[in-house]
Amino acid sequence: MIRSLIAMALTLGMASSAFAIDKAYFEIKKVKVTDVTEQYAQSALFAKKVGLLEDCNSQMPLAPKFTGDKQGDVNPLNAIELVVDQIINIGKKIFNVINAGRPVVNIKIDTANALPKGLTCWSDLSGWNIPQSKVYNVQYENGFGMTVVDFSYRVTYTAGGSADGIGKYITNATFQPANVSVGWGFQFDATAVIPSVFNTGSKRDPVAGMQMNMEWKVTSPMAHEQSTESYFVSGENKLIQLQ
């Protein structure tokens, strides 16, 4: 009888110890977000080639192209009603970046745009700056100090395009996964959200502004964490991480 009680106590002790270990593994103790652009300097060269190589959004009707070769050919900026101080997003507002720990890879990258109302294609504007990008890293540590989620994402955009020299607009703004590693027992999902585009300039000289949010959640049997990092992109070719 005594031996049985001792064996039972040892079994319960081992089970309790195992539960404590499992609990510590699945808990989230530390979250860190870091600007790691310098570490991705080489791969950023590829990202800079992406921007203006993308065609216009397929869901939008394209404006007529101006070639200048045919008599009576019409400049698309004059063929449509262009309201330069009213800025709209003709691209995606919400799109998946990471789904269940795996990067969502699109042949045609999901993008957002801040363009004058009446315009259907960024290529009808001119004077675009070179595409810009920054890379940020998110790390989650568990109760053992192990990194159970390691996610790097790239913010990419192209700014400065104008309509006959008026305004500064934004095109091909997007989030792209640069690297992701998710530990066993954890699920990681990330979604890009473009909640608004607006005019930060004047009626005569509009400057597009765009808010870009990277939203993600980490779940395990012992944890559920949700976070958002917000960024402001300006038609003046500026990217600011909002606090």
Q: Looking at the domain assignment, is residue 14 inside a domain?
A: no
> In the prediction, which pLDDT does 1 show?
54
Q: Looking at the domain assignment, is residue 12 inside a domain?
A: no
Q: Looking at the domain assignment, is residue 159 inside a domain?
A: yes
pLDDT at 54 over 70: no
What is the tally of structural domains in the chain? 1
The better pLDDT of the pair 45, 126 is held by 126
Predicted confidence band at 232 (pLDDT cuts at 50, 70, 90)?
very high
> In the prediction, which pLDDT does 79 show?
44
The better pLDDT of the pair 5, 103 is held by 103
Dump pLDDT digits (tens) for 63-82: 334 344 444 444 544 445 68
- Alpha carbon distance 127, 104 (integer Å): 31
Mean pLDDT of the region 128-155: 94
Q: Looking at the domain assignment, is residue 212 inside a domain?
A: yes
Q: Looking at the domain assignment, is residue 121 inside a domain?
A: yes
Nearest one of 233, 235, 81, 82 to 163, comparing CA atoms: 82
What is the overall mean pLDDT for the chain?
81
> In the prediction, which pLDDT does 123 show?
87
Q: Looking at the domain assignment, is residue 4 inside a domain?
A: no
Q: Which domain holds residue 52?
A: 27-242
- Alpha carbon distance 135, 153 (integer Å): 6
User: Residue 163: which residues within 8 A CB-CB, separation 6 or more?
Assistant: 77, 82, 84, 116, 119, 124, 125, 169
Predicted confidence band at 216 (pLDDT cuts at 50, 70, 90)?
very high
Mean pLDDT of the region 103-129: 89
Residues of the chain above pLDDT 70, percent = 74
> In the prediction, which pLDDT does 21 show?
54
The better pLDDT of the pair 173, 40 is held by 173
> In the prediction, which pLDDT does 22 show?
77
Predicted confidence band at 92 (pLDDT cuts at 50, 70, 90)?
very high
Query: Per DSSP, what are the bridge partners of residue 240?
Result: 232
> In the prediction, which pLDDT does 5 show?
41
> In the prediction, which pLDDT does 239 show?
97
Dump pLDDT digits (tens) for 3-41: 554 444 444 344 444 445 578 888 877 788 888 888 876
C-alpha pair distances (Å), 44 with each of 38, 39, 49, 154, 176 = 9, 9, 9, 8, 11
Mean pLDDT of the region 199-209: 96
Mean pLDDT of the region 169-177: 95
Q: Looking at the domain assignment, is residue 2 inside a domain?
A: no
The dihedral region occupied by 90, where left means phi > 0, alpha psi between -120 and 50, and beta the remainder, is: alpha
